[in-house]
């Protein structure tokens, strides 16, 4: 990538920054000792984790000005990830309520999609103009954006970031991207779904975690009012491998 992927959306600065296409603040929470295990990227063997240093997950994809302009999305995602991670490992360290900006959190997921596309991690290496407009502050089309599924039963939370694209069977255009952030499921829809309820709550008020230390809440502030929330009950012990890692080779 030889130019800022947001070129044409506001004025670019002269230099390209070495941008972490997965935000550094989240990577540091995943790998506090300077390295992480990753898998699923096109240049890696299937079903295999590969240990890399944080500085390996960078590419020149944004100019300094645009990189700085998106930093608030990274800050919000970092705060949310640290809270979600601590729910599993040390809930007593958390205050009962952690609040973050919903629009910034939603656009952080889109920033990850754009960054991975610009860096060549997805099939067609294309950042669509409609994604750029949304990332730059444009109005989301009806039905697009962040959904949080209300999954039945209890779940194992884990120190992970998982990303899975859902593409059109013919055009191969990315229509949705599913994330697991510290074991919690999110969907970013980049098209209007036929059945919105199948994807979960659209822009819910937040998530409620039942822990042995009492409730811990992640609240998402939106410009609109909503009372929808998603309740999680964890299972398993910190450090256990969650079911989705079954069959993967570890370094």
Helix (H) or strand (E) holding 65: helix 64-69
Read off the tokens for 74.
Answer: 């990274």
pLDDT, tens only, 189-213 = 999 999 999 999 999 999 998 888 8
Say what percent of the chain tops pLDDT 90.
Answer: 33
Whether 186 contacts 201, CB under 8 Å:
no
Is the Cα dihedral 101, 103, 109, 114 positive or negative?
A: negative
Q: Which residues of 151-186 are buried (b: 16+ CB within 10 A; e: fewer)?
A: eeeebbbbbbbbbebeeeeeeeebbbbbbbbbbbbb
- The separation between CA 71 and the C-alpha centre of its own chain, rounded to angstroms, equals 14
Read off the tokens for 214.
Answer: 């009492």
CA distances to 17, 57, 120, 177 from 168, rounded to whole Å, are: 32, 28, 19, 12
| Lowest mean pLDDT, pick from 40-44, 64-68, 159-163 | 40-44
CA distances to 2, 84, 160 from 53, rounded to whole Å, are: 23, 23, 16
Kindly state the average pLDDT of the residues 110-133. 84
pLDDT at position 237 is 58
pLDDT at position 1 is 46
38 beta partners? 50
pLDDT, tens only, 64-106 = 899 889 989 999 998 998 898 888 788 899 999 999 999 999 9
pTM of the model: 0.87
Calpha distance 121→42 (Å, rounded)? 6
21 beta partners? none
| Lowest mean pLDDT, pick from 22-36, 104-118, 164-178 | 22-36
Per domain, the residue ranges of the chain are: 16-245
């Amino acid at each position: 990538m030889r130019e800022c992927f947001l070129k044409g959306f506001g004025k670019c600065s002269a230099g390209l920054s070495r941008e972490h296409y997965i935000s550094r603040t989240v990577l540091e929470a995943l790998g506090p000792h300077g390295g992480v295990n990753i898998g699923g990227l096109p240049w890696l063997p299937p079903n295999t984790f590969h240990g890399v240093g944080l500085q390996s997950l960078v590419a020149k994809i944004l100019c300094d000005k645009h990189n700085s302009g998106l930093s608030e999305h990274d800050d919000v995602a970092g705060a949310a990830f640290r809270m979600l991670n601590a729910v599993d490992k040390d809930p007593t360290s958390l205050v009962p309520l952690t609040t973050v900006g919903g629009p910034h959190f939603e656009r952080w997921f889109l920033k990850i999609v754009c960054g991975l596309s610009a860096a060549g991690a997805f099939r067609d290496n294309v950042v669509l103009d409609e994604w750029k407009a949304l990332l730059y502050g444009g109005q989301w089309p009806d039905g697009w954006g962040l959904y949080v599924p209300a999954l039945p039963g209890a779940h194992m939370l884990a120190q992970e970031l998982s990303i899975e694209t859902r593409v059109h069977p013919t055009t191969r255009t990315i229509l949705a991207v599913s994330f697991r952030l510290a074991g919690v499921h999110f969907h970013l829809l980049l098209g209007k779904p036929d059945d919105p309820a199948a994807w979960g709550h659209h822009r819910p008020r937040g998530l409620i975690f039942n822990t042995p230390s009492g409730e811990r809440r992640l609240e998402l502030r939106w410009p609109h009012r909503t009372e929808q929330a998603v309740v999680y009950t964890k299972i398993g012990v910190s450090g256990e491998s969650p079911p989705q890692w079954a069959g993967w080779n570890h370094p």
